[in-house]
Amino acid sequence: MDIGAGSDTSGTNHLVSHCTIQNTGLKGVYMRAATDFPLTKSNLRVEDCEISNFGRVGFCYQPAVQIYGCGQIVRNNLFRDSHHSAILWDGNDHLMELNEIHRVCQTSGDVGAIYSSNDWGARGNIIRHNYIHDVYSVLGRWVHGIYLDDCLSGVTVQVTSSRTWWATPSWRAVVAITS
């Protein structure tokens, strides 16, 4: 892929798996559930993929994976080399786990490798056992591993595995929660 998104998927029960997506102009994978309400899990999944050098034309809000809706899974992927976030998400009952993320957010500020905001109604989201390292910006501070911004709630962040750790300078927040 030279421009645009690597995959644009909506509906239910779709799987993007064992793919290498690189050098996209915009995001790597965009997934949207068939409906937002009722809150029925869509079972849209991105698993075992490597997505790199994404967002080459549109620098901001062009992640490796962007998910909207209910019940999506982003698991066991490698995301690297980008201007902005690796995972942007909105909705309920999402699971983001076992991903390795590095060298993202390189030219952004007020950002996180995994980022969402502005939804006090979000519930049932889980972020766990991700390996996030070497996340930095040439713009300086305000780059985070996981950033739950602007009244976001309903998120469980589990940092219980030896695989879950962040290797960033001490002045950067591992998990930032703002209101």
Average confidence (pLDDT) per 10 residues, the chain, 179 residues: 60 93 93 79 96 92 94 97 96 96 94 91 92 89 88 83 45 51
What sign does the dihedral 37-39-44-47 (CA atoms) show? positive
Strand 175-177's sheet: what is its strand order? Answer: 7-11, 29-33, 65-70, 87-92, 111-117, 143-149, 175-177
CA distance 110 to 89: 16
Using an 8 Å Cβ cutoff, are 146 and 132 in contact? yes
pLDDT the model gives residue 121:
81
Q: Which residues fall within 8 angstroms of residue 162, CB to CB, at 6 or more apart?
A: none
Q: What is the pLDDT of residue 163?
A: 46
* Token representation of residue 86: 């690796």
Length of the chain, in residues:
179
* pTM flag (> 0.95): no
Q: Buried b vs exposed e over 35-52: b needs ≥16 C-beta within 10 Å?
A: eeeebebbebbbbebbbb
pLDDT of residue 174: 56
pLDDT of residue 61: 92
